[in-house]
Amino acid sequence: MRIRLLGPLEVLADDGTPAELPGRHLPRLLAVLAWQLNRPVSVDTLQEALWGALPPPAARSSLRVHVHHLRQAIGHSRIRLTGGGYALRIEPGELDVDEFRALAAAGSRALAAGRAADGVALLRSAVALWRGTALEGLRDVLPLDAAADELEELRLETVEQCVDAELGLGSSGQLVAELRALIARHPFRERPRGQLMMALHRSGRQADALAEYRRAGAVLRDELGIEPGGALQRLHEQILTGTLPGPQPPEPPATVAPPPPQQQPATALASRASGPVRCLPRTVADFTGRESTIRALLKLIGERGEPGESAPVVVVVDGMAGSGKTTLALHVASLVGDRYPDAHLYVNLHGHSEQQPLAPGSALMILLRQLGIPAEAIPADAVERVGLWRSEVAKRRVLVMLDNAASSAQVADLLPAAASALTLVTGRRRLTRLEGVHLESLPVLDADEALTLLASIVGDRVYAEAQAAQDVVRRCGGLPLAVRLAGARLAHRPRWRVAELVRRLDGSVLPQLAAEDRTVADAFVLSYRQLPQRAQWAFRLLGLHPAETFDALAVAALAGLPLGQAEEVLDELVDVHLVEELDTGVFRLHDLIREYAAMLVADLPAADRRAALLGLLDQQMHAAAATVEAARRALLVRDLRAPAPLRPDLLAALADPAARLERERPHLMALVRAAEAVEPAYAWRIPRAAWRYLWSRGYVDDIASLHQRALAAAELLGDDSAAATVLHYLASAHYMRAELDQACEMMLRAVRLRERLGETAGVTSSLGNLANIYGVMDRWPDSMRVALAAEARPVKSAGPSTAVYTLAQASFRLGRYPDALRYQRRALMAAAEAGDEARVGNCLLMLALIKHAAGLAGTGRTRRLLTASLRLFQRVHDRAGEIEARHELANLLRTQHRYAEALAEHRWVLDAIVPIRHPWWEARFRTDFADTLRLAGRAGEARAMAEHALRIARGRRLSYLTARAQAGLAECLLTTDPAESRRLWEEARDTFARLGAIEVVDVDKRLAATGQL
């Protein structure tokens, strides 16, 4: 076996074939064990490597499973259990890191012995083992990040030593290209700069050598605020004066560390900074917003940065690309800089840039050089370099800015330990592994802050076109970089109106947000490129997600990942601020990042995009269907005619289907639109799957809009069965809105389609609902006729019959209480047998009303039945049933003269139904509310409530409810306007008599009692 860490992790069998390490955890586990070179690794360290600082509760048992799988992949005898953890057995020659170290050491010994050619050959063999960046793709794993930095530093030293030897042997021209590439990756290392200057000079390119020195000086001054070191300056002088000696045998590599700082000769320390050091880049003059954040940071620095404090102040600012982290940190530095008079230091760690992230050792070199310490006085050993850095900082009051950090490991050794220092760290990744620091995640600007920033760049044009300016910052999503680039376009085009920029931003926004070579998209690219491959795949596919928010289940379905991996991917995306976590488990993309993801996913093959969306739509449909009670599941399955879920594992992981659908409800229309373009069958199936949940919670508008769209999709498919199903449920929205003619028409269409298709069970179900609609239309004989026809059909619908329940209601309205009880008991038995708790609740509610009206149950028994039904509705979260039960409870409390309690229930009911906009309910409930108000002595309120009920009932042409509202208003006007009262009672009596309603008896009694009959 051979394990290769000098590049992406690779495991080769003895015959050279690669071994498979599936999943995310096995490569991490193997890499951490291999790095320890046969030494045991503790369980805690391995847990942190696999799951980070917060391992799951079952981490130990999960670790044992992963170790077992790794043994299966590489051999059981390879991993042994020790007292405190696990150790990987590695034989000599099996690990490329060992081979690299051995070859590098042999090369150094050959050079020391004067065998330069042999040394070069050995060093080149060592470097040739590298296949890319060490531990590529595993840099986010502790302790692998530090290990990769150590290996990278050793690689650079090996290359530099080899180049020195080759220059000594007379090589020059062939080294130029290699050195230029090395400098491009590590622009702040001075040794390769000097080697390139020497190679160019010896190739007869003196002007190019001098130009390289100028480039080195410009980079060091602009980026770090320092001059080239003494060695580079002397080499420059020798080239200028022509005193540079020819090729010399390479000096033996140093075998001992340089003396500690206090023992270094005075000449080596003579160039230390004698005055204040100021290396911070300039801050922007138009800094805007972030007032609360700045106040909090200044308060923190003021409280914890006082003399005598034992700990340094470290502030870590993270945020998405372009959120203004560096600008904020520089602004804070400018406000508190006077508190740190000795030095203001700065280093760009290149965590997200075109260059490789700066190694901690290189960053320390820069910081120490900024303090004035000569390069030759800085130890090569990493531990000694950290010690020198912290010793030097302890002597001063220093402000340090570590910009664009890649990871906690990159920053840890750079943090001063002295209380006299303030460190400001910025980065896109959340550096949660740093202890004792203040973490500040930077959001986007709010609308007012963004507008102020735009005005500071553009000027008064912003206020002259206030609405257009607001549109600009809205399209920029409050992202400071985007606002600045949009402002720059306007500022450099004085003839443009702000509205012109809005017009250009109406389409794709990202291409418009550019100034010279700076774009918002480029900032996102750098974050995206540093993601692991699996996270890149999921992020791209999020560009397809049609909704504003999503969860791990949706990502798993979209990207074809197991749920656990989807959760890990989301953590990675949140950590680098490509995804925002709005609430626990609920995520969103910033608008501009969403557009960037959409640009990326557009490059995928159409088949991949289609497969991803189908996975998402299927999961969303089945997740919505999971909210339906078991008793109604057969009906849903019959209607959907849907295949089994593509991902049963995701359905099994659905912990609370109802809570999830409530969260997804605002996005159902977006899913339907996406389905129309990919697979129209989902465009009607998703609304049907969600219908029961939407109905029980009173989301009438959602039912209407979704099913109207669903009907168009079914008709486009030419699927008459689907169209009949959609019409059946679209009618329910019109029913709830008291648009009864439309509801009747749609249910009749559903009946006709189902009859033509021979769907007997479907016909029975639609006839039952049609009978119910006739009942609400006050067509009770028609209601009974159709309900009886439905009951007489040989095949019944799935679940309890709507028809028998409708028969009970119609009989009740007509005063046929024995028939109503008989039908209602049949309905109750059917509902109980099916286990339909919501329908059982409806039956208990209706039984309470019938028995109370017939004098078969007193108030106590009636209340027990109502309470039982209410508890059932609440248990199954049936909002509509709960509203009905609490309304009837209010009426019962009124008959007991418990007016305060009754009024409280009436108010709850009214508050619940007004947002639903259910006119039939509202007219009925307001009429009863008016009766209670009148009996409670609140005559003015009672009259206003009754008049409101009458307006609604008349407006919807609800004859029965109009008559009831007239009777209620007549009671209110009995003493104040007897003539109007009599007119209303007479109109009500005529309507009740025409309908055959039992209430005609009550009206006759009232007219007789008041002498008006």
For residue range 160-212, list pLDDT tens digits in order. Answer: 999 999 888 887 777 888 888 888 888 888 899 999 998 888 888 888 888 88
Cα–Cα distance measured from residue 598 to residue 568, given in angstroms and rounded to the nearest whole number: 22
**pLDDT in the model for residue 265:** 36
CATH number of the 833-917 domain? 1.25.40.10
Over residues 416-443, the pLDDT tens digits come to 988 889 999 999 888 878 888 899 888 8
pLDDT at 264 over 70: no
CA 927 to chain centre: 47
Mean pLDDT of the chain: 86
Among the residue ranges 118-122, 353-357, 735-739, 855-859, the one predicted with the least confidence is 353-357
| Tokens coding 929 | 């509310």
Mean per-residue pLDDT, 662-681: 94
Report the length, in residues, of the chain: 1013
**pLDDT in the model for residue 261:** 37
| Tokens coding 928 | 């009863």
Confidence of residue 37 (pLDDT cuts 50, 70, 90): confident
Strands 549-550 vs 398-403: parallel, antiparallel or unpaired: unpaired
**pLDDT in the model for residue 256:** 34
CB of 129 closer than 8 Å to CB of 161: no
Confidence of residue 309 (pLDDT cuts 50, 70, 90): low
Nearest to 396 by CA among 371, 369, 379: 371
- The CATH class, in words, for 277-442 is alpha beta
DSSP assignment string, 311-355: S-EEEEEEESTTS-HHHHHHHHHHHHGGG--SEEEEEE--TTSSS
Over residues 364-396, the pLDDT tens digits come to 988 998 888 887 788 878 888 899 999 999 888
| Phi, psi values for residue 117, rounded to 5° | -65, -45
**pLDDT in the model for residue 306:** 62
CB of 11 closer than 8 Å to CB of 65: no
Other Cβ atoms less than 10 A from the Cβ of 629: the count is: 18
Q: Looking at domain 918-1013, which CATH architecture does it have? A: Alpha Horseshoe (1.25)
Cα–Cα distance measured from residue 475 to residue 502, given in angstroms and rounded to the nearest whole number: 8
Fold matches, 2-151 and 277-442: no
* Sign of the Cα pseudo-torsion (108, 112, 116, 118, in order): negative
Half-sphere exposure at residue 553, Cβ-oriented, CA atoms within 13 angstroms? 25
Q: Which residues lie below 8 Å from residue 658, measured CB to CB, with a gap of 6+?
A: 627, 693, 877
Other Cβ atoms less than 10 A from the Cβ of 49: the count is: 24
Indicate the pTM of the whole model.
0.69
Higher confidence at residue 492 or residue 645?
Answer: 645
Identify residue 279 by its one-letter amino acid code: C
DSSP assignment string, 216-269: HHHHIIIIIS-PPPHHHHHHHHHHHHT------PPPPPP-SPPPPGGGS-HHHH
Widest pairwise Cα distance in the chain: 132
Phi-psi region of 224 (alpha: psi -120 to 50; beta: other; left: phi over 0): alpha
Q: Which residues lie below 8 Å from residue 633, measured CB to CB, with a gap of 6+?
A: 625
pLDDT at 990 over 90: yes
Strand partners, 515: 518
List the chain domain ranges: 2-151, 277-442, 447-523, 833-917, 918-1013
Half-sphere exposure at residue 251, Cβ-oriented, CA atoms within 13 angstroms? 4
User: How far is the CA of 292 from the CAs of 288, 297, 336, 449, 484, in angstroms?
Assistant: 12, 9, 16, 12, 21
Q: Which residues lie below 8 Å from residue 49, measured CB to CB, with a gap of 6+?
A: 28, 29, 32, 141, 142, 143, 144
CB of 757 closer than 8 Å to CB of 720: yes
CB of 413 closer than 8 Å to CB of 386: yes
CA 658 to chain centre: 20
**pLDDT in the model for residue 307:** 55
Identify residue 872 by its one-letter amino acid code: L
Over residues 818-874, the pLDDT tens digits come to 999 999 898 899 888 888 888 899 999 999 989 888 888 888 899 999 999 999 999
Nearest to 931 by CA among 923, 922, 919, 939: 939
**pLDDT in the model for residue 270:** 36
**pLDDT in the model for residue 937:** 93
**pLDDT in the model for residue 670:** 95
Q: What fold is seen in the domain 2-151?
A: Arc Repressor Mutant, subunit A (1.10.10)
pLDDT at 1012 over 60: no
pLDDT at 55 over 80: no
| Tokens coding 843 | 């039956």
Over residues 140-173, the pLDDT tens digits come to 776 787 788 888 889 999 999 999 998 888 877 7
Based on the number of CB atoms within 10 Å of its own CB, is 389 exposed (0-12), middle (13-18) or buried (19 or more)?
A: buried
